[in-house]
Amino acid sequence: MELRGKVAIVTGGGTGIGRAVCLRLAGAGAKAVVINYSRSADEAEATAAEVSSSGSQALAHRANIADEAMVKVMIATTVDRFGGLDVLVNNAGTTHFVAHPDLDGLTEEVWSDILSVNLKGTFYCCRAAAPELRKAKGVIVNVASIAGHRGSGSSIAYAVSKAGVLQLTRSLAVALAPDVRVNSVSPGLVSSRWFKQRFGEDAGSAQEQSFASETPLGVVATPDHVAQAVMAMIEADQVTGQDLVVDGGLNVKYP
């Protein structure tokens, strides 16, 4: 897909992977980028300013994607302001850290929080955007996780939610064909703010270095590495229903 003149929405677009995707879309000539956020208002506005400085129009829009009514308003606002919608990147996500053997730690609240955002929220965005994306012959890219492929991740509930995103991607690729392509990317460990907040600056850096030493490429992915993969899935006109793993090759070494 040629991105010049296109309109995109990136959920969770103010920070990390979402921010990197927004900046790459702007750099590729997108007409407008809508930066969705739920809580990170300052970061979303800062990302919008960066997008604008690259020559694209930008809008920071608050919506909790677990709330379908808010999602519908976001889509309608985008279409009203920019004239359509061509690209949807479902990046927003949440988790709870629960050790996998701790089954009792997977409370109803944990399941509800994670599935409502990661799986149901992703679906709400796809469903609300589908009519406009059909008109535009557009594309959806869902950000899943290597945890959706393996028995790993911050919790079982998180892993299950991301496995659901992978199946949702495959199912929507069929349901929305031939008008809309639907793909996903599955990051492994990504060097990001939340990782260091979770483990502490020093411990986080040490864990990153340990992880990097295990990967064939010898590096930990950055948000921009994942954004590269998202852009590849947007631009690959003959690819749909597929997932691209971004983990430095670790999944090949330890399938």
Amino acid at 156: I
Is the distance from CB of 215 to CB of 248 less than 8 angstroms? yes
Residue 196: what pLDDT? Answer: 65
Residue 98: what pLDDT? Answer: 97
Tens of pLDDT, residues 113-130: 999 999 999 999 999 999
Residue 64: what pLDDT? Answer: 98
Write the DSSP symbol of residue 119. Answer: I
Residue 33: what pLDDT? Answer: 98
State both tokens at 50: 């960066």
Give the β-pairing of 139-143 and 87-90.
Answer: parallel
- The torsion angles phi and psi of 66, rounded to 5 degrees, stand at -75, -10
The residue assigned the tokens 């003959």 is 238
The residue assigned the tokens 């900046």 is 23
Q: Count Cβ neighbours within 10 Å for each residue of 63-93 and write b for 16 or more, e otherwise.
A: bbbbebebbbebbeebbeebeebbbbbbbbb
| CA 31 to mean position of chain CA atoms | 20
Q: 37, 124, 158, 254: which one is catalytic?
A: 158
92: helix, coil or strand? coil
Q: Which residues pair with 243 in a beta bridge?
A: 184
Tens of pLDDT, residues 62-94: 999 999 999 999 999 999 999 999 999 999 999
Residue 139: what pLDDT? Answer: 98
Residue 198: what pLDDT? Answer: 62
Q: How many CA atoms lie within 13 A of 126 on its CB side?
A: 28
Which residue, among 36, 99, 54, has the nearest Cα to 45 in the 3D structure? 36
CB atoms under 10 Å from CB of 223, counted, come to 21
E strand or H helix that includes residue 178: none
Query: Treating both helix axes as pointing N-terminal to C-terminal, what angle do 156-175 and 122-136 enclose, rounded to 10 degrees?
Result: 20
Residue 204: what pLDDT? Answer: 55
Is the distance from CB of 113 to CB of 35 less than 8 angstroms? no
Residue 199: what pLDDT? Answer: 61
Tens of pLDDT, residues 165-188: 999 999 999 999 999 999 999 999
Q: Which residues of the chain have pLDDT under 70?
A: 194-205
Is 158 in the active site?
yes
Domains and CATH numbers, the chain: 7-189+223-247 (3.40.50.720)
